[in-house]
Amino acid sequence: DQQVKQNSPSLSVQEGRISILNCDYTNSMFDYFLWYKKYPAEGPTFLISISSIKDKNEDGRFTVFLNKSAKHLSLHIVPSQPGDSAVYFCAASGFVQFYFGTGTSLTVIP
């Protein structure tokens, strides 16, 4: 059973606007969450992470929000740029293992 879910397979956003990618998880033992970006034919690259003791973490244009009571996290990209077009995976970890969602394909339209 999928412990980390990304219910939107795709998202299109105009350049300069905000992109919001969502992720839900089921296991309350997860205490570390990450977002990865992946271009075709390349490995995923780390974007941003958040510990369960925080509810927000910011890095430049990228902000991750965590709502533990709802078991929900989101990634905000502001402003969105065409180079942000990629597949985004959220991941959760409780010990050694990392569990990934199915990904959201973001297209930023110039």
Partner 1 sequence: DVKVTQSSRYLVKRTGEKVFLECVQDMDHENMFWYRQDPGLGLRLIYFSYDVKMKEKGDIPEGYSVSREKKERFSLILESASTNQTSMYLCASSLASGTAGELFFGEGSRLTVL
For position 106 contacting partner 1 by CB under 8 A, the verdict is no
Establish if 89 lies at the interface with partner 1 (CB under 8 A). Answer: yes
**Binding string to partner 1 for residues 20 to 49, with x set by CB under 8 A, is what?**
-----------xx-x-x----xxxxxx--x
Window contacting partner 1 (CB under 8 A); options: 13-21, 60-68, 71-79, 90-98: 90-98
Cβ-contact 56, 50 below 8 angstroms: yes
- Our finding on whether 9 is near partner 1 (CB under 8 A) is yes
The residue type at 89: F
Residue 86 interacts with partner 1 (CB under 8 A): yes or no: no
Decide the pairing of beta strands 104-109 and 10-14.
parallel
**Closest by alpha carbon to 105, among 93, 88, 81?**
88
- Residue closer to partner 1 (CB basis): 13 or 50: 50
Taking the C-alpha atoms of residue 108 and residue 72, their distance in angstroms, rounded to an integer, is 24
44 in Cβ contact with 58 (< 8 Å): no
Contact residues toward partner 1 (CB under 8 A) are 6, 9, 31-32, 34, 36, 41-46, 49, 51, 89, 91, 93-103
